[in-house]
Amino acid sequence: MRFVRINILFILLSVLLPLSGTAAERETPVVKAVARARRAVVNIRTEQIVRRSSSPFGFGDSLFEQFFRELLPPSSMTSQSLGSGVIIDAQGHVLTNAHVIAKASKIFVALPDRSEEIEARLVGADERLDLAVLQIRQKGRWPYLSPARSDDLMLGETVIAIGNPLGLGHSITTGIVSSVARRIELEEGFSSLFIQSDALINPGNSGGPLININGELIGINTAIARQAQGIGFSIPINTAKRVLRELIDYGQVRTSYLGILPGEVGASFVAKNGGRGVLLVDFLAESPARKAGLQIADVIQAVNGISVADINELNAQLAGYPPGSKIELLLQRGLKKLRYKVELTLLSDARLMAYTRRIFGLTFVERPGGLQVASVENKSAAARAGIEPGDRVVEVARRKVGDLDGLRRLMAALIGQEPLSFLVVRDNRGYLLQLPQD
């Protein structure tokens, strides 16, 4: 009987042990990829100082409230937000989303293998691309994950989204790639391209890395569509690599200059060519496009293989290429398809103001009361609309502007788009005008 019992025990163990498997047998490619990347994924906690000028007595807009507001100093409160990021070099540069650190007065990062938080500083950010670079203030050699490449992604490829949402552990989701260049409109008139997968992204792991099955950094996760079910979006790492040096050296991505005046293609062109594009109406001063050999009436249909349907999509594509970048434009010239290499240059203030003067007929000056019209060109669109020197400009394209720097940033993003709405104030009366008018 004892022999029989031993045999039964042996049989049971031989059946059950293979079901559990050894650690080596359970170490799948996903497990290996996460192990390679996890130490470089950080939690990001920010503090924002929100100042309040009201008194603590809650009198509303009464005379009492105004009286106490003058006597008491402004109060403030601290709000916090959480996100993720990934260390991309041994010096402690952290790549994350711009919205994760927006309006932060202090930034802290927490690494998986450390119990304490470490302060970081903002190096540079670009809100339109939703990318930011931080620098860990503490000296040391940090675990990192070098940016790889995203231009060889395959549909159906397995990807892994990693976050560190609470600083206590990792959030890991897996999925497959369903689009390598999904165009999403982030705001009116501006869209961007994303990797789309079903690896879920939430605000806590926004800013963390998207990796492939080899554990390579191929994207930065971003929570841009919280209402979407089962869909995740990530900024391609190739986009981040192109602008990384700009963010570190200049604190922002400087605007590139193609130097064209765009127009819309007609319905007959769409019918004949099966698509849309950007019609080249004229060249601006010192145009890189003209230098490269483009001609008036050319239709730009793609930038580096990504199709563009209108000036908004063209500008969105160019936003990811800093000055000095070389791009390939696919053109339709008559019945021919042509490809031209163009080296983009910097959109300087002088070029931008020359464009504003040529298209709208306006120059601006910054005054204590805000942004004012300095001069109006004779017979220009502004002159025909009745704008006069001294008028105050409050909004352009329904976005508030208060100084020259803000106007330059806005106009750089809107270059080539027309007409634009201008909210002009004169004698305490507002006038909403479209320039140039038909």
Active-site residue identified among 84, 99, 298, 310: 99
Q: Per-residue pLDDT tens for 97-138?
A: 999 999 899 999 999 888 789 999 999 999 989 999 999 999
Fold type of domain 256-346: Pdz3 Domain (2.30.42)
Distances (CA, A) of 204 to 96, 100, 169, 223, 258: 12, 9, 12, 9, 38
Indicate if 99 belongs to the active site.
yes
Measured CA to CA, the distance from residue 142 to residue 135 in angstroms comes to 11
Domain 41-136 grouped into CATH 2.40.10.10: yes
Class of CATH domain 158-250: mainly beta
Same fold, 158-250 and 349-435: no
Q: What tokens were used for 273? A: 């060519």
∠ CA 212-217-220, rounded to 5°: 105
Of all residues in the chain, the percent with pLDDT exceeding 90 is: 63
Q: Which has the closest alpha carbon to 44: 196, 189, 220?
A: 220
Q: What tokens were used for 203? A: 């605000």
Q: What tokens were used for 377? A: 């060109």
- DSSP string spanning 268-290? HHHHHHTS--EEEEEE-TT-HHH
Q: What pLDDT is attached to residue 225?
A: 60
Peptide bond into 389 cis (omega under 30): no
Measured CA to CA, the distance from residue 42 to residue 64 in angstroms comes to 48
Active-site residue identified among 84, 206, 234, 380: 206
Measured CA to CA, the distance from residue 324 to residue 430 in angstroms comes to 41
Q: What tokens were used for 190? A: 């501006």
Q: What pLDDT is attached to residue 13?
A: 47
Q: Per-residue pLDDT tens for 351-394?
A: 998 999 999 999 999 998 889 999 999 999 999 999 999 999 99
Q: Per-residue pLDDT tens for 273-329?
A: 777 899 999 999 899 999 999 999 999 999 999 999 888 899 989 999 999 999 999
Domain ranges of the chain: 41-136, 158-250, 256-346, 349-435
Average pLDDT on 334-363 reads 93
Q: Which residues pair with 10 in a beta bridge?
A: none
Indicate if 380 belongs to the active site.
no
Indicate if 93 belongs to the active site.
no
Measured CA to CA, the distance from residue 347 to residue 17 in angstroms comes to 67
Residue 3 has pLDDT above 50, yes or no: no
* CA 216, chain centre distance (Å): 21
* CA 153, chain centre distance (Å): 20
Architecture of domain 349-435: Roll (2.30)
Q: Kind of pairing, strands 399-400 and 392-396? A: antiparallel
- DSSP string spanning 66-109? HHHHHHSPPEEEEEEEEEEEEE-STT-EEEE-TTTSTT-SEEEE
Measured CA to CA, the distance from residue 148 to residue 104 in angstroms comes to 29
Measured CA to CA, the distance from residue 325 to residue 243 in angstroms comes to 10
Active-site residue identified among 126, 130, 310, 391: 130
Q: Per-residue pLDDT tens for 211-262?
A: 999 999 999 999 766 555 678 999 999 999 999 999 999 999 999 999 999 9
Residue 21 has pLDDT above 70, yes or no: no
Q: What tokens were used for 154? A: 């395959």
- What backbone phi and psi angles, to 5 degrees, belong to 291? -60, -35
